[in-house]
Amino acid sequence: MTKRIATCVFIFALNLAGQSFEVASVKPSQSRGKASVDTSPGGLTIDGSLSYIVRWAYGLKGGQLSAPAWAGTERYHIAAKSPGPGSVQDLKGMLQTLLAERFKLAFHRETKELSVYALVVAKGGPNLKESDREGESTTKTDPKRPGSGGTQTRTSMAQFADLLDGCCGLPVVDLTGLKGRYDFTLDISSYMVRDQVLDTPGVVSEALQKQLGLNIVERKILIEMMVVDHAEKIPIEN
């Protein structure tokens, strides 16, 4: 009986592809804190600028989105419930539909050469433990020392590159060629002076090499960009 129920839930989750949120509230946000997103199998809460929300929905890095200036300053709070349990990718798909419906978001894609930091395997090879856990990737950080690193569970290199994205002033792109999911810790607290990191790219590069057998190197590569053609500043009412 348990196996049958689990199978039914799995099939239902698969059927969420292409669906819309069951209920969704979109409101202007007065928050001035760091943009945030919280997901659960059946819901999504995201607060930030429209540019932040679009980047999260489409899995874009900072340099991959070209949007009106106001999209980077006007903030919104979205709280939504899906019609059933689903993955983070399902929630992103439903958020894409919501952006088209409420903000009338329209865009096209084009390719542009950008300067990035490439996440690569350092000399000597990676020092990573492949995860034997199940579920989504998780990040645990020290709230008392933001920016000091963190412990990753079941994290792919593409997801890790996303976490590093922008920390050194440029987008970070995964070029490691590693396809697994890993459990590891990156600790840069010893490099911090009064909770500040000096020479962030150099510190991250050194810590990555010593602790994980990885590195970041600056390169110019062709990246597909999303260019916003239209978006409404005032979303359609809930």
Q: Which pLDDT score is estimated for 28?
A: 96
Of 68 and 148, more confident: 68
DSSP 87-146: -HHHHHHHHHHHHHHHS--EEEEEEEEEEEEEEEEPTT----EEP---SS-EEE--TTST
What is the residue extent of each domain of the chain? 2-103, 113-222
**DSSP letter (8 states) at residue 234:** S
Q: Which pLDDT score is estimated for 198?
A: 62
Q: Which pLDDT score is estimated for 15?
A: 46
Q: Which pLDDT score is estimated for 58?
A: 96
* Residues 39-63: b if buried by 16+ CB within 10 A, e if exposed: beebbbebbbbbbbbbbbbbebbeb
Find all residues with CB under 8 Å of 49, minimum gap 6, and list them. 35, 71, 72, 73, 74, 75, 76
Residue 224 has pLDDT above 70, yes or no: yes
- CA-wise closest residue to 212 among 98, 89, 105, 125: 125
Mean pLDDT, residues 107-121 taken together: 95
Residue 73, exposed/middle/buried by CB under 10 A (0-12, 13-18, 19+)? exposed
Q: Which pLDDT score is estimated for 62?
A: 74
Q: Which pLDDT score is estimated for 18?
A: 61
Residue 13 has pLDDT above 90, yes or no: no
